[in-house]
Amino acid sequence: MKLVTPDLCDAYPDDVRIVEPMFTNYGGRVAFGGEIITIKCHEDNSLVKEHVAKPGAGRIMVVDGGGSLRCALLGDMLAEKAAENQWAGLIIYGCIRDVDEIRKTDLGVQALRTIPIKSNRKGRGDLNIPVTFGGVTFHPGEFVYADNNGIIVSSRELSMPE
């Protein structure tokens, strides 16, 4: 079944929150959706690295990098590890790098921009707390859906209309 965010918005207008249009789709999986886990970090992708190595079970990692454009919170090696561990995707309020390789990876990835410099790892960040960006608060356990049309969030799992 193909995921299309406009169709979900039309079918569930009272159940979706729309993220402001600021993200670009970089992953090999153009449309993706699933249950949210959140990471809040600033220019430190330690928690991202730790969690892509764990079973994703089709979930989406929503990473609040504070909108920083100074370093990447995801690169090709972490994206490959996430795909191997069955993460459906990552939404990063910040930058990524190694975009050409990430485009070849079976993983949904949306981010603000790209930059070639990696982040510093100092072990800082918060896991599974509500994070807010793009006019929406993302709560762990909610659901997010993303494609080339945009990103939407729902407190319940949605299915594509027939």
Task: Encode pLDDT of 99-144 as tens digits.
Answer: 999 999 999 999 999 999 999 888 899 999 999 999 999 999 999 9
Q: Is the CB of residue 37 less than 8 Å from the CB of residue 61?
A: yes
Q: What is residue 1's predicted lDDT score, i.e. its pLDDT?
A: 58
Q: What is residue 15's predicted lDDT score, i.e. its pLDDT?
A: 97
Reference 109, options 68, 129, 81; nearest CA is: 81
Reference 75, options 85, 64, 90; nearest CA is: 90
Residues of the chain with pLDDT under 70: 1
Residue 4's CB is within 10 A of a number of other CB atoms, namely 16
Q: What is residue 3's predicted lDDT score, i.e. its pLDDT?
A: 87
